Structure 1
């Protein structure tokens, strides 16, 4: 790449394309983003208007954090195509805090603010762990991220968890229609149409679902046009030490998950992540969580759901995700618009989810193809055991139910289990280099070599 050539990650696209591709990213992550405030608000038995406010606050906070992550601000921001959203790892702890008779919603916000501030401070220390992530670990973790997300895509295709009509043939048929349409566009179209194949599939599926009577617009009619997201809307936060300790544990889990996700994105866009870049990205996880607590939202992390979209479309510009951040801020301030997006049924997203999440797993397999399994057969055991452990929470959600509830944030994260297993087994079988820089250089050399040997946009 010449010195005057703009890296695809920094490419400035025309406004129309930015908006279209940004909307595509928002549609992919929207269901996951609003699920956390919905679950927490319902568990705390909050009135519907307060739950609606939590959703607006969540979208607003996601947008702000996404802009900082993609564009950068001082020592914050990985400057890669990344979308921020509420982490599901915090749902269990937050419900436990919120339903505790001695605590409540304000303690959730207080612990979120404190955990975010502590996370910003701890980010450089977590960044030093990059030495423990050689290609065999990175490839394993990326594969488990994709395989874990497949559960989400499959449940979407069947109508969504909790849907009394789960598995309705009409849902499955429309999901298959969306999936088939995306594949047809990918096969026969080029350029911009191929870039927005997922968006076209979702819009076509939404129209088909509306025509067949599977879309409800009740929320659109009831939602106000404009909503103000004010800091500390519910009152000043409370800072309970035990609640803070719990949320800091959640931050550690999200840091490990984000490390694997950042390495995956760096691989996909051809800009390998070094320690300094990783720390900037992790700081935004902390800052996004801090902002979330201030604006009546919850812990934030970099969303894995959107990684697969990069592989499907081949669009690597971080400004696309920055545009998605602006759209999220707008949706947070205009609830009626947000409800229009919320009207897209889960099964419409299911067909797209299977493609995108499968792309993440495929990219992990691609990374593992660069690992030496011939002269270092122990690498096979590292991958085998780590993938198996990483899929435990997906295959058997109740596997750890007899263990202390306090360990739930750790044991119910397949990405964390896979990461811990792969790092530990790699250290046992292959050892760890004495300096972070040498391992980092080896990993980057491996990634660069792969890219130079004919890596092409995954379309």
Structure 2
């Protein structure tokens, strides 16, 4: 390794890049295909259309990841951030789709992507409101908010199922978690860095012998699946739908800004205003592109931050390799079907380790914050931010009477926790600093 090259810009051998990149894809695959599954089911699309949506989603996610990591044409943060469809847009898209169909969804997605692209330089000026007390709180909230996802996977994926949380399921997820710990403890170098990948592969093999894995989808999947622009028709631009989606995009921009700052702190390349502008601009362009390629708004996937923390592989070119793999998965459905065979309990065991590491990184950042002294409000900021971020996770029904944009904001622990940290810091620290200067 050349010591003059920052770890983010390090170019690894092709074989290592592929395996590390594949590890990232396995970690995010379930989340990547969840949104098209939910939306297609809610608005009554056929199985054929659902498969097409998944292929388009993976293909476009790959392009979005390449843009974010490589940074062409003044777009992309050039940080190791993998891109996927945001969950924040699910409810509004279902509402729009039921009322006006898929073409209205894509019209709103394209318009919101243009808005995000144009608004990026203005939104990035919020970086001054992200000192370590805010950054540490946001990273910790991201990790804690992702843990319920890992727990659901560990229990079998569907809490409503009769066998959810059964002893064999929990034993399988625990076995995978132990594999991650053992590999991480006793392996060195390259093998240590692919501990999650090895645990997922071994876990899947063991799961297949225990009857947890169904490989029939591989045989049924097509070999080639081409993604054609505007497959479902010309987008329609409905003003109310566009307004709703722009409100969602403002929430997404807040989360993306937090993700960029978080990954910048973890890899040792702090994100400045320019980096955030480029990162948001990449999200905006990818979202706009997604509308043309029959998919949905894109954002950074926070779960992969945990993988970077666990493996300490910080190269953006590794994540760019993930983008290439995602493009291939979108073009060759059989490859995607193979990855889809990884059972939820196997993902859960690895997810507990990865997401827990994200929270631990946030705690590490918070450990460097000053809490003592007169008129020091940092402890209050951290405490209330974490509490607000965990509200919807602890008792999801607490915000059941909130509708529209308020529902989107308050049902996302990451969003409400991040906004709380930003606002409290602005009121208690920033405003006090300005007053003292005067």
TM-score by length of structure 1 reads 0.92
| Counterpart position of 1:408 | 407
TM-score by length of structure 2 reads 0.96
User: For the residues of structure 1 that align with 2:405 and 2:255, how far apart are their CA atoms?
Assistant: 19
8 Å CA contact retained: 2:58, 2:327: yes
* Structure 1 residue 106 corresponds to structure 2 residue 117: no
| Counterpart position of 1:426 | 425
Deviation (angstroms), 1:168: 1.6
Deviation (angstroms), 1:77: 0.7
Deviation (angstroms), 1:406: 4.0
8 Å CA contact retained: 1:132, 1:432: no
* Comparing 23-32 and 372-381, the one that deviates more: 372-381
SS at match of 1:80: coil
Q: 2:121 aligns with which of 111, 124, 127?
A: 124
Instruction: Label 1:423 to 1:369 Cα distance change in 2 as closer, same or farther (>3 A).
Output: same
Structure 1 residues 116-136: Cα deviation after superposition (integer angstroms, max 9, x where no partner): 011000111110011111111
| Counterpart position of 1:338 | 336
Deviation (angstroms), 1:218: 2.2
| Counterpart position of 2:170 | 172
* Structure 1 residue 139 corresponds to structure 2 residue 139: no
What are the ranges of 5 or more consecutive residues in structure 1 without an aligned counterpart? 436-459
8 Å CA contact retained: 2:248, 2:405: no
Q: 2:217 aligns with which of 212, 219, 234?
A: 219
Deviation (angstroms), 1:394: 1.1
User: For the residues of structure 1 that align with 2:23 and 2:317, how far apart are their CA atoms?
Assistant: 13
Q: Which runs of 4+ in 1 moved over 3 A?
A: 432-435
* Structure 1 residue 380 corresponds to structure 2 residue 379: yes
User: For the residues of structure 2 that align with 1:111 and 1:134, how far apart are their CA atoms?
Assistant: 34
* Structure 1 residue 210 corresponds to structure 2 residue 208: yes
SS at match of 1:308: helix
User: For the residues of structure 2 that align with 1:176 and 1:99, how far apart are their CA atoms?
Assistant: 41
Structure 1 residues 230-268: Cα deviation after superposition (integer angstroms, max 9, x where no partner): 000011111111111111111111111111111111111
Deviation (angstroms), 1:161: 2.7
Number of equivalenced pairs: 432
Instruction: Label 1:324 to 1:396 Cα distance change in 2 as closer, same or farther (>3 A).
Output: same
8 Å CA contact retained: 1:131, 1:432: no
Deviation (angstroms), 1:46: 0.7
Deviation (angstroms), 1:219: 1.6
* Structure 1 residue 92 corresponds to structure 2 residue 84: no
* Structure 1 residue 263 corresponds to structure 2 residue 264: no
SS at match of 1:201: helix
* Structure 1 residue 154 corresponds to structure 2 residue 156: no
Structure 1 residues 275-321: Cα deviation after superposition (integer angstroms, max 9, x where no partner): 00111011111111111111000011000010000011010000000
